């Protein structure tokens, strides 16, 4: 394919950043500038000569600007196959001039939605002429150059300098691909608004989603896998992709996955006493809440210091120097927090490979939305698990009533358990996890593993007894048999929190009564696979 010299350019942009500089560069090369409305005014204000699109079409802009570029003299100039005799004859017969360059970005539909505009304003910001020109130019990239992103203006200027006022076919192909992605993203935003906001559909018949590449990652879960981070076109909850990375090497796929798990759990304690979450392979291995962050760190670490090695740490409050110094005593991959003082930053700076991420607050754990999982041949889509319970929602089902402290421990254990891979068992005492069992194929084994970790912690720190003694235990789903409950009782748990709802509930309740345990039902399950 041959180079195409840019002789005429049509510019119509909502985002006017860099427009004047681009216009001056084109004009300096003798390019005729054709434009519309506010874009034409901005170019003229920059001292440039501009032809109105109405001069091209012979029709004025009308209907509040809804109709201005939807005309054969525009789209004929964009779509004509220039070395086709019939097309060339039609252009001559109808006085259609070729348009070599189109610079368009679209009405700010997403920004209009984001600011909470009324429906009529939202509808008015659905661009019609812009996407039409973009698609026409992109389709005919054999002859026409299309730009949809101000970030590409410099690349165009460089291309024109290199090619003596022309663009090469490879450049035009690359810009066309980007243009089609832009219109696809734009249409996806519109379809989502119509489906979810306007029509109130939860699962529309067609589901269009769009996202932008934030960057490629070193590799995926394993070195033979490739990976990248994408950000949705409309960010509902800020998280790791929007965080400031203060130091450390780039994050890997696993780092993002694990750090997000830690951040989501830390967010459960937003506005409460300082909390520390330690995660390994997307599972919490220690969680604690204390009057100060340093004590919370030590209590969380003591739950499972073996698993904490090479783990991820998240906090619900800004980091301080003493806590940062303590975290640096073990190998830690990533630390995530909604802030860090200078002493904390200085402490972490001594560990050059440790990644420190500062987030803009914490995500709302009760936010709406959907999650998805790719399966062979399809997608599984579900609403987020944003359900929550309070003490008032609990139903006491045993003869013994739980004490006030047992209820607090039950709710703390329950909060952690919803973030542990199923089957999940969490022992907690005095606002700290005492043992966590995750991902086992049966609940009894999860109970036993959690208790084993508690015994190992007691040996490590030379405690008189494991912290499961006198603890509360949470199960993410009901106990299908009494054996899981009995394993918890054997570990020393005195209170149990679980959803209930099994056909064997009466058997499990009877076992709890026999061992003098207090048990409460939540009526809500939190499977996490």
Name the burial class of residue 352, with classes exposed (0-12), middle (13-18) and buried (19+) by CB atoms within 10 angstroms of its CB: exposed
Query: Residue 219: left if φ>0, alpha if ψ -120 to 50, beta else—which one?
Result: beta
Query: First-to-last CA distance in the chain?
Result: 52
- Is the pLDDT at 62 greater than 70, yes or no? no
Distance between CA atoms of residues 90 and 11, nearest Å: 24
- 352 has catalytic annotation: no
- Band of the pLDDT at 71, cuts 50, 70, 90? confident
What pLDDT score was predicted for residue 387?
A: 93
Query: Of all residues in the chain, what percent carry a pLDDT higher than 70?
Result: 98
What pLDDT score was predicted for residue 64?
A: 66
- Is the pLDDT at 430 greater than 80, yes or no? yes
446-472 confidence digits (pLDDT tens)? 999 999 999 999 999 999 999 999 999
Q: Is residue 263 part of a domain?
A: yes
What pLDDT score was predicted for residue 58?
A: 67
> How far does CA 421 lie from the centroid of its chain?
20
Do 396 and 330 sit in the same domain of this protein? no
Do 339 and 445 sit in the same domain of this protein? no
- Is the pLDDT at 401 greater than 70, yes or no? yes
Which value, to the nearest 10 degrees, does the dihedral of the CA atoms of residues 185, 190, 193, 198 take? Answer: -170
- Band of the pLDDT at 59, cuts 50, 70, 90? low
- Band of the pLDDT at 65, cuts 50, 70, 90? low
- Is the pLDDT at 56 greater than 80, yes or no? no
Query: What average pLDDT does range 436-451 have in this prediction?
Result: 92
* Count of C-beta atoms within a 10 Å radius of residue 224: 7
Contact 340, 356 (CB under 8 A): yes
Query: What average pLDDT does range 183-196 have in this prediction?
Result: 93
* Count of C-beta atoms within a 10 Å radius of residue 117: 15
Q: How far is CA 429 from CA 253, 293, 409, in A?
A: 33, 17, 6
Q: Is residue 206 part of a domain?
A: no
What pLDDT score was predicted for residue 75?
A: 75
Catalytic: which of 7, 16, 51, 139? Answer: 139
Do 58 and 9 sit in the same domain of this protein? yes
Do 294 and 171 sit in the same domain of this protein? no
Distance between CA atoms of residues 453 and 434, nearest Å: 8
| Domain of residue 297, residue span | 239-358
Q: Among 190, 186, 189, 122, which Cα is nearest to 148's?
A: 186
Do 251 and 309 sit in the same domain of this protein? yes
What is the Rg, in whole angstroms, of the alpha carbon atoms belonging to the chain? 31
Distance between CA atoms of residues 54 and 27, nearest Å: 20
Q: Worst-scoring range by mean pLDDT, 38-42, 63-67, 261-265?
A: 63-67
Q: Is residue 216 part of a domain?
A: no
Q: Identify which has the larger pLDDT, 454 or 74.
A: 454
Pick from 301, 323, 358: which residue ends a domain?
A: 358
* Count of C-beta atoms within a 10 Å radius of residue 272: 11
Distance between CA atoms of residues 337 and 266, nearest Å: 9
- Band of the pLDDT at 84, cuts 50, 70, 90? confident
Do 408 and 517 sit in the same domain of this protein? yes
Tally the domains of the chain.
3
Which value, to the nearest 10 degrees, does the dihedral of the CA atoms of residues 253, 256, 257, 262 take? Answer: 160
Query: What average pLDDT does range 502-520 have in this prediction?
Result: 93
- 298 has catalytic annotation: no
Distance between CA atoms of residues 408 and 199, nearest Å: 42
Catalytic: which of 178, 281, 298, 351? Answer: 281
Contact 527, 421 (CB under 8 A): no
Tokens of residue 357, six digits: 């991420």
Q: What are phi and psi of 521, to 5 degrees?
A: -105, 140
What pLDDT score was predicted for residue 327?
A: 97
Do 54 and 118 sit in the same domain of this protein? yes
Name the burial class of residue 452, with classes exposed (0-12), middle (13-18) and buried (19+) by CB atoms within 10 angstroms of its CB: middle
Mean pLDDT of the chain: 92
Do 11 and 88 sit in the same domain of this protein? yes
Secondary structure element (H or E) that encloses residue 483, with its range = helix 482-491
- Is the pLDDT at 70 greater than 80, yes or no? no
Do 395 and 467 sit in the same domain of this protein? yes
Tokens of residue 418, six digits: 């919803």
- Band of the pLDDT at 82, cuts 50, 70, 90? confident
Pick from 171, 198, 225: which residue ends a domain?
A: 198
Tokens 């427009």 -> residue: 19
Tokens 């994050």 -> residue: 251
CATH code for the domain in which residue 164 is found:
3.40.50.1380
Do 419 and 300 sit in the same domain of this protein? no
Query: What average pLDDT does range 98-104 have in this prediction?
Result: 93
Distance between CA atoms of residues 178 and 318, nearest Å: 40
Do 162 and 283 sit in the same domain of this protein? no
Distance between CA atoms of residues 299 and 12, nearest Å: 60
326-340 confidence digits (pLDDT tens)? 999 999 999 999 999
Contact 367, 186 (CB under 8 A): no
- Band of the pLDDT at 21, cuts 50, 70, 90? very high
Beta partners for residue 35, in sequence order:
11, 52
256-276 confidence digits (pLDDT tens)? 999 999 999 999 999 999 999
- Is the pLDDT at 1 greater than 70, yes or no? no
Pinpoint the alpha helices (H) of 193-333. Answer: 253-266, 293-303, 305-308, 321-327
Do 113 and 149 sit in the same domain of this protein? yes
Q: Is residue 24 part of a domain?
A: yes
CATH code for the domain in which residue 332 is found:
3.40.140.20
Q: What is the number of residues in the chain? A: 529
């Amino acid at each position: 394919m041959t180079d195409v010299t840019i002789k005429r350019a049509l510019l119509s942009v909502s985002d006017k950043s860099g427009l004047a500089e681009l216009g001056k560069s084109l004009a300096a090369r003798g390019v005729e500038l054709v434009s519309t409305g506010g874009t034409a005014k901005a170019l003229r204000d920059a001292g440039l000569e501009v032809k109105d699109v109405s001069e091209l079409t012979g029709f004025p802009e009308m209907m509040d600007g809804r109709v201005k570029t939807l005309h054969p003299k525009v789209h004929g100039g964009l779509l004509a196959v220039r070395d086709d005799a019939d097309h060339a004859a039609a252009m001559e017969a109808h006085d259609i001039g070729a348009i070599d360059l189109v610079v368009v970005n679209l009405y700010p539909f997403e920004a209009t939605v984001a600011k909470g505009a009324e429906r009529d304003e939202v509808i008015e910001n659905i661009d019609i002429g812009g996407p039409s020109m973009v698609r026409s130019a992109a389709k005919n990239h054999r002859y026409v150059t299309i730009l949809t992103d101000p970030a590409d203006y410099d690349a165009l200027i460089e291309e024109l300098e290199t090619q003596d006022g022309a663009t090469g076919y490879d450049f035009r192909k690359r810009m066309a691909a980007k243009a089609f992605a832009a219109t696809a993203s734009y249409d996806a935003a519109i379809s989502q608004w119509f489906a979810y906001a306007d029509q109130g559909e939860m699962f529309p018949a067609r589901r269009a989603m769009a996202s932008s590449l934030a960057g490629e990652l070193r590799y995926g879960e394993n070195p033979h896998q490739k990976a990248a981070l994408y950000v949705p076109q409309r960010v509902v909850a800020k998280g790791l992709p929007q965080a400031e990375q203060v130091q450390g090497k780039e994050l890997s796929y696993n780092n993002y996955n694990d750090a997000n798990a830690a951040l989501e759990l830390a967010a459960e304690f937003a506005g409460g006493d300082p909390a520390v979450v330690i995660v390994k392979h997307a599972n919490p291995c220690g969680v604690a809440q204390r009057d100060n962050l340093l004590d919370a760190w030590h209590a969380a670490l003591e739950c499972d210091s073996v698993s904490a090695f090479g783990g991820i740490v998240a906090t619900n409050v800004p980091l301080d120097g003493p806590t940062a110094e303590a975290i640096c005593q073990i190998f830690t991959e990533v630390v995530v927090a909604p802030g860090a003082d200078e002493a904390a930053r200085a402490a972490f700076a001594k560990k050059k490979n440790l990644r420190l991420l500062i987030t803009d607050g914490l995500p709302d754990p009760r936010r709406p939305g959907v999650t998805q999982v790719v399966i062979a041949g399809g997608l599984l889509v579900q609403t987020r698990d944003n359900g929550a319970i309070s003490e008032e929602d609990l139903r006491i089902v045993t003869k013994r009533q739980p004490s006030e402290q047992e209820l607090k421990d039950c709710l703390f254990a329950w909060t952690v358990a919803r973030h542990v891979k199923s089957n999940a068992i969490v022992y907690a005492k005095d606002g700290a996890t005492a043992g966590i069992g995750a991902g086992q194929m049966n609940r009894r084994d999860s109970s036993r593993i959690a208790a084993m970790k508690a015994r190992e912690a007691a040996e490590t720190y030379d405690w008189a007894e494991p912290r499961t003694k006198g603890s509360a235990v949470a199960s993410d789903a009901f106990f299908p048999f009494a054996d899981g409950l009995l394993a918890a009782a054997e570990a020393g748990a005195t209170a149990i929190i679980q959803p209930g709802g099994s056909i064997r509930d009466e058997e499990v309740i009877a076992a709890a009564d026999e061992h003098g345990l207090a048990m409460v039902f939540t009526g809500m399950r939190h499977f996490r696979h």
